[in-house]
Amino acid sequence: MKFSDIIGHKENVDMLKSMVINGRLPHAMLFTGPEGTGKRLCACAVAASLNCLEPAEGEPCGKCASCTRLACGNQPLVSFVGSLKKEEEIKIETPSGGVLIKNLVPSSSDGEKRTVKLSIKQVQEVIRLASLKGYRDGKKVFIFDDTADASLPAMQSMLKVLEEPPPATYFILVTNREVSLLPTIRSRCQRVEFLPLNRSDMGRFIEERLPRARSAPEAVEAASGSPGRLTRYVNARKVLLSNVPPEDFFSEVSDWISCKDPDEPDLEEKMMMLLEIEAASFRKSPGEENCRRVIIIEDALRDLRKNANADLVVSDMFLKLGAVDLGQVN
Ligand SMILES: [Zn+2]
């Protein structure tokens, strides 16, 4: 995980690197901005940079013991705390090797493993870990992911840690709903804003990381500068974008329905994404074709909610959408 993995946000990256180099990184920071713009990745790069054994101008090397451990989710100095909705770990792939994010589970309770909201027990675990003596000159980093979901008691105990951070300990709060945080928490943190990527950075993201999006201009438009959202949209349109040969069509659709990848949203969420993309296209150019696509997806969603056979409904939907794309619908 390196800063160079982050597309866009040059000012933020330069500022964070220089704060790490000069030992002036604030102990509490708030990374705020729309979803999918790279806040979490940037927090990981900060954690990597702080602990890298051979950094170059603040850029982590990606090869030392600390960087390697972070890539495999085994860096004990770096903890992720928050709501990983379905799974406890997520691998984010990047050109320099990526990072495995494992959600911090309080050692005291098993039942909380799949917690969606940040819980008070997780915060207590953070306090416990933060108070442990660090080894050598390692820096502890706690990345709070989507803290806006936290309960009030959890936020209140978080506030206490932020008020008196132990030495060599850093807290990075990542959120796309800043207003849901307690004002007292916000005021303790240095705010770093992540704006949507501009056209040229989105273009670079597509060329380097998601070439499939080249044939989905409507998804690019609907993603409004968020690489994370674009990735999800493109995955939602996968069947349409991959030129599936007719003999493989039904197995592709089955794969799409089964949502095997743990990081994948469930079927209804995927359908909603398809609908968002098409609705955005329709708002931009309210032509007959775009209207037709919206109706096809709405019909399919309605049928699914009535518990119709998902294979049939979804294959029918993709066939109809494909026909519209090919201009075969009159
Ligand atoms: Zn390193």
Segment 19-46 shows an average pLDDT of 95
| Distance from residue 149's CA to the centre of ligand 1 (Å) | 32
| Distance from residue 65's CA to the centre of ligand 1 (Å) | 7
- Beta pairing, strands 169-175 & 28-32: parallel
Segment 239-265 shows an average pLDDT of 80
**Where do runs of H (alpha helix) occur along the chain?**
10-21, 39-51, 65-71, 120-131, 152-163, 183-188, 199-209, 217-223, 227-236, 238-241, 249-258, 267-284, 288-305, 310-325
| Distance from residue 181's CA to the centre of ligand 1 (Å) | 33
pLDDT(282) > 60: yes
Give the chain's domains with CATH numbers: 3-193 (3.40.50.300), 199-325 (no CATH)
| Distance from residue 92's CA to the centre of ligand 1 (Å) | 18
Answer with the residue of higher pLDDT: 109 or 28: 28
| Distance from residue 21's CA to the centre of ligand 1 (Å) | 14
Per-residue model confidence (pLDDT) at position 5: 94
| Distance from residue 1's CA to the centre of ligand 1 (Å) | 9
Answer with the residue of higher pLDDT: 9 or 330: 9
pLDDT(285) > 80: yes
Per-residue model confidence (pLDDT) at position 216: 87
Per-residue model confidence (pLDDT) at position 21: 95
pLDDT(215) > 90: no
The DSSP code for 1 is -
The DSSP code for 9 is -
Other C-beta atoms within 10 Å of 116: how many?
Answer: 12
Residue 28 backbone dihedrals phi, psi, to 5 degrees: -135, 125
Structure tokens at 270: 């995927």
For the segment 91-146, what is each residue's pLDDT rounded down to a tens digit?
A: 888 888 888 887 777 655 555 445 556 778 888 888 888 888 766 678 999 999 87
Split at pLDDT 50, 70, 90, the class of 262 is low
Per-residue model confidence (pLDDT) at position 247: 86
Q: How far apart are CA 124 and CA 120, in angstroms?
A: 6
122: closest CA among 82, 162, 159?
A: 82
Percent of the chain with pLDDT over 70: 91
Per-residue model confidence (pLDDT) at position 261: 66
Per-residue model confidence (pLDDT) at position 18: 96
Answer with the residue of higher pLDDT: 20 or 260: 20
Counting beta carbons within 10 angstroms of the beta carbon of residue 224, is it exposed (0 to 12), middle (13 to 18) or buried (19 or more)?
middle
| Distance from residue 76's CA to the centre of ligand 1 (Å) | 15
Cβ(277)–Cβ(236) under 8 Å? yes
Per-residue model confidence (pLDDT) at position 303: 94
Sequence-distant (6+) residues with CB within 8 A of 307 are none
pLDDT(194) > 70: yes
266: closest CA among 280, 276, 256?
A: 256
Segment 163-190 shows an average pLDDT of 91
Cβ(281)–Cβ(237) under 8 Å? no
Q: Coil, strand, or helix at residue 101?
A: strand
Cβ(172)–Cβ(138) under 8 Å? no
| Distance from residue 52's CA to the centre of ligand 1 (Å) | 4
| Distance from residue 26's CA to the centre of ligand 1 (Å) | 21
The DSSP code for 85 is S
| Distance from residue 35's CA to the centre of ligand 1 (Å) | 28
| Distance from residue 137's CA to the centre of ligand 1 (Å) | 14
| Distance from residue 50's CA to the centre of ligand 1 (Å) | 9
| Distance from residue 138's CA to the centre of ligand 1 (Å) | 12
Per-residue model confidence (pLDDT) at position 84: 53
Answer with the residue of higher pLDDT: 196 or 222: 196
For 261-290, give the DSSP string: STTS--HHHHHHHHHHHHHHHHHHS--HHH
| Distance from residue 85's CA to the centre of ligand 1 (Å) | 30
pLDDT(15) > 70: yes
pLDDT(292) > 90: yes
| Distance from residue 256's CA to the centre of ligand 1 (Å) | 38
CA torsion through residues 206, 208, 210, 212, sign = positive
| Distance from residue 67's CA to the centre of ligand 1 (Å) | 4
Q: What is the mean pLDDT of the chain?
A: 87
Q: Which amino acid is at 9?
A: H
Per-residue model confidence (pLDDT) at position 108: 52
Per-residue model confidence (pLDDT) at position 190: 96
pTM across the whole model: 0.85
| Distance from residue 39's CA to the centre of ligand 1 (Å) | 20
Cβ(56)–Cβ(2) under 8 Å? no
